[in-house]
Amino acid sequence: MDDRALEAELAAKATAPRVTLQRLEDEIAATHIFNLGDALAALGFSVPEDASLTTICAITTKLGFVLVGTSACVSKDNYNPDIGGRIAKQKAFDQLWPLEGYRLKAQLAAPAA
């Protein structure tokens, strides 16, 4: 099930405060996707042969916290930068769920002012 379909189902059934997909998306300040081989070369490092088969996504939250997701391919014949970028981005994005869940739990546990 895709995230949007699941989100719609949860929105229809959930009655208590919860972390939403929109809340997570609203926390993102920047997303950078790059090829590891290209990044190493740009920095002047020697590039291992298969480094160009790894894609990295760094998501920066509005608080400045950085989450990193990666995707690596075994064969250069199968490498697709678009697919690798989407996989790496999803892996980075998925790390937001527990962080925002913890934040919401802390907010709900705080004494009312």
Q: Contact, 46 vs 74, CB < 8 A?
A: no
Distances (CA, A) of 107 to 19, 23, 53, 101: 12, 15, 42, 10
* Residue 81 pLDDT > 80: yes
- Between the alpha carbon of residue 52 and those of residues 36, 40, 55, 76, 84, the distances in Å are 6, 9, 8, 8, 11
Answer whether residue 89 shows pLDDT above 60: yes
pLDDT, tens only, 2-51: 778 888 887 788 778 899 999 999 999 999 999 999 999 999 999 998 99
Single-letter amino acid, residue 52: S
Weakest mean pLDDT among 2-16, 50-64, 81-95:
2-16
Average pLDDT, the chain: 93
pLDDT over threshold 80, residue 1: no
pTM summary value? 0.87
Q: Which residues contact 35 (CB under 8 A, 6 or more apart)?
A: 52, 54, 55, 56, 81, 84
Helix (H) or strand (E) holding 58: strand 54-61
Q: Which domains does the chain have, with CATH numbers?
A: 26-100 (3.30.160)
Contact 86, 107 (CB under 8 A): no
